[in-house]
Structure 1
Amino acid sequence: MQLLDAAAPSQAAAASMPTERQQQQHPAAQQGLTHGHMQLLQLPSAPSLTTPNEAAAKLPAAAAVAATAAADLDPLSSTSGPGGLPAVYGQLPPLPSSFPDLPKQQQPLLYQEVLPNGLRVTLLEDREVPLIRGSLLMPGGQVSSPPEHVGLASIAAAVQRAGGSRAHPADQMDERLEDLAASLEASAGQQSTTFDFQCMSGDTREVLGLLGELLQQPALPRDKLSLVQAQVTNIISHRDDNASGVARRELYKMLYGQDSIYARTPTLSGVASLTPADLAAHIAAWQRPDGAILGLVGDFSSSDMMSTVKEVLGSWSPAAGQPAAPLARPHEDLPDLPGVLAAAADSVGIQQQQQQSPQMVYLVDRPGALQASVYTGEPGISLSDPDCYALDVLASTLNGFGGTLFDELRTRQGLAYSVAANWDSPVDHRGLFEAAAETVQPAKFIQELSGVLASVRVEPPTQQALDKARAGLLNSFVFNFASSYSQLQRTLVYQLLGLPQDFLFTYRDRVEAVTAEQVVEAAARHLHPQQQVVVVVSDAAVFGPQLTEAGFEVQALRPAPAE
């Protein structure tokens, strides 16, 4: 469950927030989540590997004789085969050299209906096991939180679920769900609020009823709000623990703007000032049936399940005093690169760079850091941009083992252990291009990264690189159909975002048709490495002179306190 409103879907300020019962069951995991770190587990040492005869030497005499005899009978212990391999290897069949084609993927057979109250329902039958899984999606999410209460959407979802309903307060709802071996959770992502549930097929009506209670009669108790506020406060206090998280957060603020709904982060005062009334007002404004999409998959008859949904959720209606139509999901436009550069410079109180000026590096001081976290980026594209397919192929040629960035910056020059670059292409606004790495030579890394990005603007990928990149994207296509639930979730998300249901198939076909010329032309239109915003988090006393000597104009960047 995402807890904090963040600049981007994966920005470091976003975190997962367990429910109170999960804290009790998994205290170690909760500690890791609260501090935003991976929890390290102490594992027993691996046993040393020994041959059967070596093991026998460590056993009592009688056991040693038996172990040695067993080893003599083991066909793998014989090395009479070619090349000193065990003889049994010669009896194995050869590895296959050809494989059958994967079956053609098709759209799942869905049953869809819009209820009189506006609730859109999608059903997908899957009789393999007697289980039901479902999701309810509603627009809003983290971008809908007001400026004075950044984080409200995530906190409201957490308290709404943890507090239970008026008919089934927190502990009673948890106990009833446990009795049913069912789950019901709530979370707020960047664009939506989601309720996910799972239960035995025979318990669907009751679990849907509990969901309906949370939607229409949430308890929102003060003690649960106080608990979530304490957890969020702890997360905020540790938000600068990870240098790469700081670099990315500040890059998003420089590109989108300090107060953008895609870049803002919660503050201690904003979180502390929240009241149950604030949560109730947010829920009333954004959680309503005529803006919601419900999906269920599992062991049921579609006609019977639709009747159950109508009986349980058909009476759900917008809260009193709400407008006739649901609110539109907030979105903002990102200016072009010159406007972004001017705003970035203005945010630190300096004038915009001239075209011929040295490239600006915004340096966040982290005393004692032994390496530098580097993030560089510029305005990107939205999903509707016709270049999105070619740019995805280009990103595939740049990243991963064998990718241009990996081969050049890690393998040949040893500048970074890992390096990546990608385009984010949201549906309703322009995303960003960003590249990142951890390095002890930030100046040289930035120069060489710019060189690689400049080269792909003028040099099309080789046919081998193009084929590999397209294959990497296309071969992952089948995993979109790995389970019925994943297919259902994709359908719901497409509905919420207004995408056609065949978008995934269209995407596959367009990627397959991308040419090398389209890749280099798209790169020339959308990559400007010498003008990108660069954020470095490192020890300024150590790495600042290195950057200045390399010809960069270094500007100190002081992140705003989380007050």
Structure 2
Amino acid sequence: MKYFAKGLTSVLASALSIAIAAPAALAQTATAPAEKPAAAQPWTKIPIPPLHAFKPAQPKRIELSNGLVIFLQEDHELPFINGSILIRGGSRDEPADKIGLVSLYGHAWRTSGTATIDGDKLDDKLEAKAASIETSGGSASTSVHWSSLKGDFDTVFASTMDLLLNPNFKADKLALGKRQIASGISRRNDDAGGIAIREAVKLVYGPTSPYARQPEYATIGAVTLDDLKAWHDRTVVPNNMIVSVSGDFDSAAMEAKLRAAFEHLPRGQAFQSEKFTFTDPKPGVNFAEKDDVNQSNVLIVGLGTERSNPDYYALSVMNEIFSGGFGSRVVQNVRTKLGLAYSVDGSFGASYDHPGIFYVIAGTKSASTVDATKAMLEEVNRLKTVPPTPAELAKAKDQLLNSFIFHYDSPEKTLGEQVTLAFYGYPADFLEKYKTGIEKVTAADITRVANKYVDQSKLGIVVVGNQAEIKPTLDALGKVTPLDITIPPPPAKPAE
């Protein structure tokens, strides 16, 4: 209360001072000279030089006779060495009745340890050296990462190879992984935003798509130790792996060590992912009830594109104009001018080997759900009807190019991108072409790709909120389809 009273006193004092000064100011008005022109702004005349040509330090690439690919990136700034083994095959490739297998594999692989050392003892061994070895499972790959001081590389790398070639999957570690995933399943409807994103992905790709499906109690319960072993045997072959190492080492000496570790491994059957088809989501409103909230999460979604698309650069600039930060159209019009959203964002997503997701997302009060959604749709349509101004185009390009440089401002970042490009079969100079590709984009290109790729009849809407508080009702936006977000219970245990 003291702070409030003090603030109130200050406001009143300011008001009084204005009132007291006003007569004097009015008395001087008749004789006061004309106002001077605004002061010059010399900083606006500072020349901004063009960006330098983008020439990232390229890692050394080596391909062994068995098909294994190695990338080496020297970086002598600190006495550390970091390594990674990227292995083809991920959760999108696991059986539909065992969704969660790859996550469980990534967990149990490291925590179980090897045939020669238990996972818990390996923890102690690595902790004593301030080193780490971790395994994980992703959508398209599984991986092993390790890190150590330069002087401990040989020891830590030997443990990494032992884990790679001699895993010892244990029942108790698999059970621990299942409990952790089950805990996440039980809580997945707690957050309205999380529900909205999950259901939007399912709407775009389809509920049974490998890019949208989710683990359930039954699917993780079906995973066995034999499944983990079979997955390991299927994927861990040299022609299915990319090894990358960065840090304080000599490339020739490191190459010799890696050749000694990997070159004797026999080539195996290359992993082949299933080819998936994608169709546009159906238009309409898909609603999930969340009666313990007083706001709505709104997502407008459709299929995006792939980075290999020749229109990738124009779509990137279009995306920046549309939703690239606080100065973007969607933020300025939906949030700032109309005040219809706490937050609003969007993206025309581009993935490496399948279409990304085009989305516009907002958080808004329950009472403004319909108005906010209409405003978001209007901004989508304006992409097609209102070409970017010269200022919008220039600003979007500058933001993309400046931020792009900082994504690859270290040897390790460049190495990571080169590994990703190699994994998905992109040319090594893809990064170098980005700057030129963005610079060539014109306002006409933006209008062309907006009309080619943005179609409101191929966009779906997901709303998560409190139906009783949404006024006007959602049917003002079109047909409303209820979403069932019930979590299927664990399968019944057999009777004793």
Q: Does 1:329 align with 2:283?
A: no
- Residue 546 of structure 1 and its aligned partner are, at CA, apart by 2.1
User: Which has the bigger relative contact order, CA under 8 A and spacing at least 6?
Assistant: 2
- Residue 103 of structure 1 and its aligned partner are, at CA, apart by 5.3
Which residue in the other structure is 2:3 paired with?
none
Which residue in the other structure is 1:353 paired with?
none
Letter in 1 for 2:278: L
Which residue in the other structure is 1:526 paired with?
453
Letter in 2 for 1:421: G
Which residue in the other structure is 1:423 paired with?
348
Which residue in the other structure is 1:4 paired with?
none
1:293 aligns with one of 242, 259, 280: 242
SS at the partner of 2:277?
A: coil
Cα distance in 2 between the residues matched to 1:504 and 1:182: 32
- Residue 331 of structure 1 and its aligned partner are, at CA, apart by 4.0
SS at the partner of 1:425?
A: strand
Cα distance in 1 between the residues matched to 2:316 and 2:443: 12
SS at the partner of 1:476?
A: helix
Give 5+ residue unaligned stretches, structure 2.
Answer: 1-42, 490-496
Query: Could you say if the C-alpha distance between residues 163 and 95 of structure 1 is closer, same or farther in structure 2, counting changes exceeding 3 Å?
Result: farther
Q: Does 1:555 align with 2:488?
A: no
1:539 aligns with one of 455, 466, 469: 466
Query: Could you say if the C-alpha distance between residues 257 and 551 of structure 1 is closer, same or farther in structure 2, counting changes exceeding 3 Å?
Result: closer
Cα distance in 2 between the residues matched to 1:121 and 1:241: 43
Cα distance in 2 between the residues matched to 1:540 and 1:250: 17
CA contact under 8 A between 1:163 and 1:218: conserved in structure 2? yes
Which residue in the other structure is 1:385 paired with?
309
Letter in 2 for 1:325: Q
Letter in 1 for 2:103: S
Taking only the aligned residue pairs, the percentage that are identical comes to 31
Q: Does 1:487 align with 2:406?
A: no
- Residue 545 of structure 1 and its aligned partner are, at CA, apart by 5.1
Which residue in the other structure is 1:451 paired with?
378
- Residue 109 of structure 1 and its aligned partner are, at CA, apart by 4.1
Letter in 2 for 1:164: G
Cα distance in 1 between the residues matched to 2:45 and 2:384: 41
When structure 1 is superposed on structure 2, of 298-307 and 526-535 the one drifting more is 526-535
SS at the partner of 1:129?
A: coil
SS at the partner of 1:265?
A: coil
Superposed CA RMSD: 2.0
Query: Could you say if the C-alpha distance between residues 361 and 101 of structure 1 is closer, same or farther in structure 2, counting changes exceeding 3 Å?
Result: closer
Cα distance in 1 between the residues matched to 2:148 and 2:62: 22
Query: Could you say if the C-alpha distance between residues 122 and 504 of structure 1 is closer, same or farther in structure 2, counting changes exceeding 3 Å?
Result: same
Post-superposition Cα deviations, 1:427-452, rounded to whole Å, max 9, x if no partner, equal 22222211111111111111111111
CA contact under 8 A between 1:133 and 1:485: conserved in structure 2? no
Letter in 2 for 1:394: M
Q: 1:19-168 alignment to 2 at 5 Å?
A: 97=46, 104-168=53-117
Letter in 2 for 1:334: F
Cα distance in 1 between the residues matched to 2:276 and 2:152: 42
Which residue in the other structure is 1:346 paired with?
none
When structure 1 is superposed on structure 2, of 382-391 and 133-142 the one drifting more is 382-391
SS at the partner of 1:228?
A: helix
Cα distance in 2 between the residues matched to 1:458 and 1:503: 32
Per the normalisation by structure 2, the TM-score is 0.85
Cα distance in 1 between the residues matched to 2:382 and 2:79: 55
Letter in 2 for 1:180: K
Cα distance in 2 between the residues matched to 1:376 and 1:120: 41
Q: Does 1:410 align with 2:410?
A: no
Q: Does 1:192 align with 2:192?
A: no
CA contact under 8 A between 1:363 and 1:535: conserved in structure 2? yes
Cα distance in 1 between the residues matched to 2:233 and 2:422: 22
When structure 1 is superposed on structure 2, of 107-116 and 119-128 the one drifting more is 107-116
Which residue in the other structure is 1:498 paired with?
425
Letter in 2 for 1:465: E
- Residue 102 of structure 1 and its aligned partner are, at CA, apart by 6.0
- Residue 161 of structure 1 and its aligned partner are, at CA, apart by 0.8
Give 5+ residue unaligned stretches, structure 1.
Answer: 1-93, 319-323, 342-358
Query: Could you say if the C-alpha distance between residues 551 and 119 of structure 1 is closer, same or farther in structure 2, counting changes exceeding 3 Å?
Result: closer
Query: Could you say if the C-alpha distance between residues 395 and 181 of structure 1 is closer, same or farther in structure 2, counting changes exceeding 3 Å?
Result: same
CA contact under 8 A between 2:287 and 2:463: conserved in structure 1? yes
Which residue in the other structure is 2:293 paired with?
369
Letter in 2 for 1:437: A
CA contact under 8 A between 1:163 and 1:220: conserved in structure 2? yes
Cα distance in 1 between the residues matched to 2:199 and 2:420: 29
- Residue 316 of structure 1 and its aligned partner are, at CA, apart by 3.7
Post-superposition Cα deviations, 1:188-211, rounded to whole Å, max 9, x if no partner, equal 222111211111222222222111
CA contact under 8 A between 2:192 and 2:297: conserved in structure 1? yes
- Residue 472 of structure 1 and its aligned partner are, at CA, apart by 0.5
When structure 1 is superposed on structure 2, of 136-145 and 109-118 the one drifting more is 109-118
Cα distance in 1 between the residues matched to 2:307 and 2:77: 36
CA contact under 8 A between 2:61 and 2:72: conserved in structure 1? yes
SS at the partner of 1:423?
A: strand
Cα distance in 2 between the residues matched to 1:528 and 1:361: 16
SS at the partner of 1:105?
A: coil
- Residue 468 of structure 1 and its aligned partner are, at CA, apart by 0.4
SS at the partner of 2:354?
A: coil
Letter in 2 for 1:507: Y
When structure 1 is superposed on structure 2, of 468-477 and 272-281 the one drifting more is 272-281
Post-superposition Cα deviations, 1:135-186, rounded to whole Å, max 9, x if no partner, equal 1111112212211111111210111011111112112211221222211111
CA contact under 8 A between 1:134 and 1:294: conserved in structure 2? yes
- Residue 268 of structure 1 and its aligned partner are, at CA, apart by 0.7
Cα distance in 2 between the residues matched to 1:373 and 1:451: 18
Q: 1:168-183 alignment to 2 at 5 Å?
A: 168-183=117-132
Letter in 2 for 1:204: F
When structure 1 is superposed on structure 2, of 102-111 and 212-221 the one drifting more is 102-111
CA contact under 8 A between 1:216 and 1:316: conserved in structure 2? no
SS at the partner of 1:181?
A: coil
Cα distance in 2 between the residues matched to 1:484 and 1:468: 28
When structure 1 is superposed on structure 2, of 496-505 and 477-486 the one drifting more is 477-486
CA contact under 8 A between 2:237 and 2:269: conserved in structure 1? no
Cα distance in 1 between the residues matched to 2:80 and 2:462: 48
CA contact under 8 A between 2:54 and 2:435: conserved in structure 1? no
Which residue in the other structure is 2:151 paired with?
202
CA contact under 8 A between 1:183 and 1:199: conserved in structure 2? yes
Post-superposition Cα deviations, 1:520-560, rounded to whole Å, max 9, x if no partner, equal 11111111225421111111222275223x35322222125
Query: Could you say if the C-alpha distance between residues 96 and 183 of structure 1 is closer, same or farther in structure 2, counting changes exceeding 3 Å?
Result: farther
- Residue 407 of structure 1 and its aligned partner are, at CA, apart by 0.7
Cα distance in 1 between the residues matched to 2:329 and 2:61: 45
Letter in 1 for 2:347: N
SS at the partner of 2:306?
A: coil
Post-superposition Cα deviations, 1:60-96, rounded to whole Å, max 9, x if no partner, equal xxxxxxxxxxxxxxxxxxxxxxxxxxxxxxxxxx999
Cα distance in 1 between the residues matched to 2:229 and 2:486: 30
